[in-house]
Structure 1
Amino acid sequence: MKLTQTTVNDLLAQVGLADGYMYLPADLDTQALTDLLTSRYGAPRTLVLDGFADPTVDDSTGAALLVPFDDRAVKIRAWAYGNQWVGTGTARDDEGVERPVLVVAQRQVPEPLAFAPDEVEDVDWMERLIRITGWTQPAQRPDAHWAEVESRLGTALPTDYKRMVETFGEGAFDAYLSLNQEPWTDLREDGLLIWASTEHEDLYCWRADGDDPDRWPVVVRSFDGQDLSFDCQAVQFVCRILIDPHHPFTMARYFDTHWFMNYQESD
């Protein structure tokens, strides 16, 4: 079987949108399938390796993908995508033969706290972002060398942004909003530092005015060069565009369930 993204679409359509699985042809290249899914959904998490399930796997990390196979899974990799888990690898069939498999399952994350337009005080926006995305992995960059970055840039950086990078690492929210691992300086002549970007070529920046970076406003530089300012910090801005359907840059209309596509594999 020749694998392409079109083939993968066909296979997923055969499995169904939720809670389905299928054994694939024995000659299928499972690594090629994993690579195609990785190019689409980001780095996978390994749920089962050499027949041994990761003991930390639970409902929040894709355990539903293992249900159809009981203890017959040999190797299963998992991806989060909206309200779905997608998995592939190998499992033994009813006759004990190891075969490639493709499996999908419903993904549930805790309901985020209701959005209130005027709430500002006493909100830990990082904790809310973790809840919104169903993030369960350990901090991806706990040892980020911020002193070196800030020395190179000649300025301190907002605390919430550094915490966001340390927690999530390299990747994109909803496979759309890419988080810069350090700010880009392309617009520095305009007083802007770029902390994220989107597939639509919008640039999410700070207007780096004043000595307190935690008070820098977020500025969106759109693909046509227009600027729109928001009086909030970066993490609060991300939370709002994920769940507020009335935000001018909302992503809430595309997905009911949100996630962070990790670009670096974490087994």
Structure 2
Amino acid sequence: METVLGMPLPADYKQLAETYGPGRFNNYLSVFHPHGVTEYVNVSGRMPACIRGQLHQQARQGRFPVPHAPDALFAIGSTDNGEYLFWITEPADRPPDRWPITVNEARGPGWFDYDGNLTGFLTSVLTGRTRVPLFPHSLTAQPPQFTPSHPVLYKPTPIPDQAPTDTHAIRTWAQANGYQVPPRSRIPPNVRQAWEDAQKS
């Protein structure tokens, strides 16, 4: 995976990925994994580059301040609400095992920095020692738990006899059916899957 990405990976991440595999923590937070079951949660998939492109666009447009250089951020996870977790990979002489974590707000200008590695962040947040203002209060209402992903690759099924549907239609359906979706950027995979299931029924 390091060869594919062209960069070293922190030792704590390798151990986390090997121990847990792909899945979600507290049914909210996913860490991108070498064997992620969809392109949206695969560490070598399209998402890290797409997210970096979005950050560049935000910085150019001045819509939301980006407190770190976009090229210094590598997306390593996401939440069901649309926040992203990043490694801060600069300065260049900082070893990967000391890359801190930052999180951006899903639909706003907020950022939260954590001066520690990924597993330290997960442990501290999921046990309630660290409060991330961008995350819901209910995140720690239950003890820390991990739910493995279903080992089935996501393959979109074409909808017969229909023209391709744009993301606006999915957002409109999701809002009408009680799902929280960001007005821009990606549609969470669970919402897209729910929409596709609804089209089949």
Aligned partner of 1:192 among 73, 76, 82: 73
Residues 124, 130 of structure 2: 8 Å contact kept: no
CA distance in 2, matches of 1:155, 1:245: 31
Aligned partner of 1:214 among 93, 97, 108: 97
Residues 112, 132 of structure 2: 8 Å contact kept: no
Aligned to 1:241: 125
Does the alignment pair 1:205 with 2:57?
A: no
Q: Structure 1: which amino acid aligns with 2:150?
A: Q
Q: Structure 1: which amino acid aligns with 2:80?
A: E
Aligned to 1:164: 16
Identity score, percent:
26
Give, in angstroms, the shift of residue 151 of structure 1. 1.6
CA distance in 2, matches of 1:160, 1:174: 20
Taking structure 1 as the reference length, the TM-score comes to 0.40
Q: Structure 1: which amino acid aligns with 2:52?
A: L
Taking structure 2 as the reference length, the TM-score comes to 0.52
Give, in angstroms, the shift of residue 252 of structure 1. 6.8
- Which string of whole-angstrom CA distances, capped at 9 and with x for unpartnered residues, describes residues 132-172 of structure 1? xxxxxxxxxxxxxxxxx212222101111111111111110
Could you tell me which runs of 5 or more consecutive residues in structure 1 were left unpaired when the two chains were aligned.
1-148
Does the alignment pair 1:258 with 2:144?
A: yes
CA distance in 2, matches of 1:176, 1:153: 26
CA distance in 1, matches of 2:78, 2:118: 12
Q: How does 1:1-267 map to 2 (within 5 A)?
A: 149-182=1-34, 183=43, 184-185=48-49, 186-187=51-52, 190=70, 191-209=72-90, 210-211=92-93, 212-223=95-106, 224-244=108-128, 247-249=131-133, 253-254=138-139, 255-264=141-150
Q: Structure 2: which amino acid aligns with 1:235?
A: T
Q: Structure 2: which amino acid aligns with 1:187?
A: R
Dislocated runs of 4+, deviation >3 Å: 249-254
Could you tell me which runs of 5 or more consecutive residues in structure 2 were left unpaired when the two chains were aligned.
35-42, 57-69, 152-201
Asked which structure has the greater RCO (Cα within 8 Å, sep 6+), the reply is: 2
Q: Structure 2: which amino acid aligns with 1:202?
A: E
Q: Structure 2: which amino acid aligns with 1:203?
A: Y
Greater per-residue strand proportion = 1
Work out the number of aligned pairs and report it: 117
Name the SS of the counterpart of 1:181 in structure 2.
coil
CA distance in 2, matches of 1:258, 1:252: 14
